[in-house]
Structure 1
């Protein structure tokens, strides 16, 4: 085989010649664009976040300076504890302090409350709508934070994060400075207000998602605001110089994480920017992405034109020949080797022609052998049904004889003779449905002698349906199984009914119903899933026999369904295809 005529070589060269330039171009362009844009845009975002964090720290420093000046320079605060609490001087000083606090709380926009705290009294100014809630929040937190010497607030510049359901947003920052003798000056800032400023800075939802998180060292423990992405809970809260990425496990999207830790509180400002947002403004990348499909279509057209004569045309001829062989046209042959045809297709054509000749020769012998094997399987399966009823019939005769009922024995013998006469004639593959129904009626009559006044059998089958041919002994095993397994309550009559319903496609459904106990759950599941029954269910051999015979005779054109009736009892529906008599009669 010459190298240049190999179809494998031609495919590889053609594919590489068409796709390699596009792949290389797209990879280089994509890598360069993503790297440059990600670095530049993320640097801009990071600088913006640093400016915001620095401004917030500056605001906290100004508030700390205000608290410090009030604790040191404010004469009213310094003189407050020098007066008895029930004195007029104390009340006058308290009024003056309250006026200052309510004035100053509006000056510092971040402050929610400013307070002067003593274990016996609280003076505060607040923007909180619920005045009493603000008092209780200050009191409870100050009692806890000043309770013992080791837990005292040692760093006057550090704001601590606290939680209280009564304050909007639930989380807040608190800081205080001791004046003297258990007297403190402090302030409260709602974390929600910080998050509002962060959202304004970042146009929340447009650039990315942002939030404020509690820090435990360099670990972000949890989100402190409702809008904060929960994806960042527990993620490292490194400094502003770090550039991290996370992947959403649900959407599989990648995000850039920007961090800015506060130097005055154990919180971190964090922004989550989608990687797609970073590339949104890349004009070159967008233009290249728009032009790439048109270039690809042009190259693809050239490639397809080249492949048409080299690959597609010989493949189409080969497939057409296979389809003709599949529908029985065994005289089809492929043309001899053409000019420019690949060696592989020339080999396939010659092999196809030889195989078609062999198939034509062997088909008749193989078909006849398959018919003989299938006919033998049908005979074997049909023979298995007869011994199943023989034992039951002998038990009935034995019981009647043991009771000394000779008349019933005579009657039983006549019915058994008719029954076995049908069995002997039922070695035919196909019988009329009316013959099957007469046989079932004869079987029920035999069983009625065993259970007087306890069995009823009815059927509603149109006359023209009775003339359809069905596989012999297809319905009777289901009636027998209903009596054996469903007839448990002997106090009420056991009713078996057979109904027929025709279908538009020419087939018809035959349904056998009873009012017995129905199928047990394990047996019903096995029957529905067509799983062979266990050895303990050998009395149901007839059912599995019928299922197997229908598959051999009709294939997928026939079907059996099993179910339990809500009112009690079981239902078996058999679908018989019509118009197959001549085909089956030849089996």
Structure 2
């Protein structure tokens, strides 16, 4: 996971923050202004419509109050109503005359009251009804007959919970709503009946939008009209007093209303918010458009700056990051971009090419230096070996021991042929051990009866490649510091294949029966310090460590120590295959 601080400190992040710092407050202010404008318009529309509803409700209540006054005057002044309180059988003629006069009076009065469909008188004593309707209170005979049937049901329902001072709602079996008012005098009821639709006729001139409307509702907020519309839109008709509310499951509707002072019903209007927003001032609607345009412009601006500015920078940063990780082939592709970025890309690619050339040149110089150093290390031969070998041959010639002279000369020829014939840094383990045996035979001829050796090696690893003279140099170091004429020196060489994380490795252990390494020398060798003394001692060991570092870097190891009983021991762990110089040496060990 990448650290968060470089991301926060990046140019892309700062550029984005700067844009958002300018644009977001502007967008928020314009959004607040738009929302405030919408709220103002809502309040204005709600206020004007509430006032209009109040005006219409007052007009309805006023018309109903005129009907109420007529009913009260009729019940108090007209004496014919007294005749209806007595059984018809007492004086049937007087009863019929009184009924006829009441009918004529109601017939002449009903046309003056536009909010009344039917006037009726009901004699509870005689179970007799007298109904007088307007000319237009029913379009057909069936409709008028249905209305008379509903009034008959009302009068035969024992009138439960009727408040004789107010208008009440009556719902028919087919779902139509009516309003009625009763005035009781003795056992006679005088009443008025009106269909709810008639009261809504003046409101048809009001503009509530195509989806809006006005209706009368009961005290339980059951709509008397537009019930299907209210149910399908999920409109809640319960309105707050002196205010409005938003409701509806699809479109948002403003609901406001006004209660009747003369009856148990409400006048309610619901207006779709879409119709309200059409009444927004032109500049306010422009503000909303500008807000949306600003958001769209911000989106386009970010895309444009990303393509023109951010992506080229990102490509350069990505290439430089790869370069930092060691990928020297991270060239920038030629993409369409601004002139400045093309110059930067070309300059970067030129710089990478020059660095690659310089790196290759330096690398070749290092290889040449390493080759020269390796050659020098390989050619480091103790001059005393030449002098001692020649001195031995001279002494053997004096005593005329020609057989040993021949063997000594043959061994020396093989020794120097191996030293000078091989230009590679690596030889097979078989050849290195053969050279070491030849060297040990020369030393046995030099120190007869004081030097023995044993070489044990796995047959499977004889073809593995190892650095030239590495075993012989360690053996030479043991003979140099451990051979005495007091006791026999034994050298033990053991080579075997061992598991390794990268495959197979070769473990070579070289031990002797001499006095071992001094403690101060072991400390220097363990601490990777140079152990060469002023008189040149231990130069062979330093030679080996330096060559291993040049050839293997950190994939090989060499350890020095003393055996528990007596003598020194050196352990070499080498990869089974390696590349050195101009040759590739592989091991066929299994």
Instruction: Bin the TM-score by the shorter chain.
Output: 0.3 to 0.5
- TM-score, scaled to structure 1: 0.47
